[in-house]
Amino acid sequence: AQSVSQHNHHVILSEAASLELGCNYSYGGTVNLFWYVQYPGQHLQLLLKYFSGDPLVKGIKGFEAEFIKSKFSFNLRKPSVQWSDTAEYFCAVNAGSGGGADGLTFGKGTHLIIQP
Amino acid sequence: DAGVIQSPRHEVTEMGQEVTLRCKPISGHDYLFWYRQTMMRGLELLIYFNNNVPIDDSGMPEDRFSAKMPNASFSTLKIQPSEPRDSAVYFCASSLVVGQLFFGSGTQLSVL
């Protein structure tokens, strides 16, 4: 079974600071990796995804993530955060065996607060 | 498209009562998922369906929980009897492409 670990439960940054949220997963086979975001009062939505190919993937709103297979990591980054990036961020994984849309296993989330 | 629709948004009930949560997936999506979110355990997959058929219910905590999907546009999650430890936010999500889940707004359940 897969598991996902997010390093920080709470992160507080000032606007324009650079962001990196850590995510490590535990699974021995091929994986699909995702970052979801939940803005205050809104439902979870997909931020970016990695299936195969270029390990550096770009998502919406200037976010990107890098898949490092040797480290079982998929860290989320943004060069310069904005106040509107305040949200809960979830890393997720599912087995990339091609067997179908198996349910995602989520990390516990990182609550990001951006101070003006 | 209106997205995934869940009802009710909030439910407050007393221990021992039956609770039914409802979900309408996005039209055309053939996968439907039920998740539970708590502070302690994060987001947990309870059960998911493919073409209305339950595929994996290993996340359902115990026999008090049951889920049905009688047709492609409707699913229910039932808790009977409910207990205070069931208090959580319950999310429904649907999907057509692997991993690209579209979530509903959730049902905030409080069992007193």
Q: Out of A46, A96, A106, whose CB is closest to B42?
A: A106
Tell me which amino acid residue B103 is: F
Neighbours of B108 (CB within 10 A): 15
Q: Is A50 on the interface with B (CB under 8 A)?
A: no
Q: 3-state DSSP call for residue A58? A: strand
Chain B residues with a Cβ under 8 Å from any Cβ in chain A:
3-4, 31, 33, 35, 41-43, 45, 48, 50, 55-56, 59, 91, 93, 95-106
* pLDDT tops 90 at residue A98: no
Whole-angstrom Cα distance, residue B19 to residue B2? Answer: 25
In Å, how far are A11, A44, A80 from A84, measured between CA atoms?
Answer: 14, 15, 12
Chain length of chain B: 112
User: For residue B84, which phi and psi values (nearest 5 degrees)?
Assistant: -55, -35
From the CA of A104, how many Å to the nearest CA of chain B? 7
Q: What's the pLDDT tens digit per position in A20-67?
A: 999 999 987 888 999 999 999 888 999 999 998 999 999 999 999 999
pLDDT in tens, chain B (112 residues): 679 999 999 999 999 999 999 999 999 999 999 999 998 888 999 999 999 999 989 889 889 999 999 999 999 999 999 999 999 999 999 998 877 899 999 999 999 9
- Percent of chain A at pLDDT > 70 equals 94
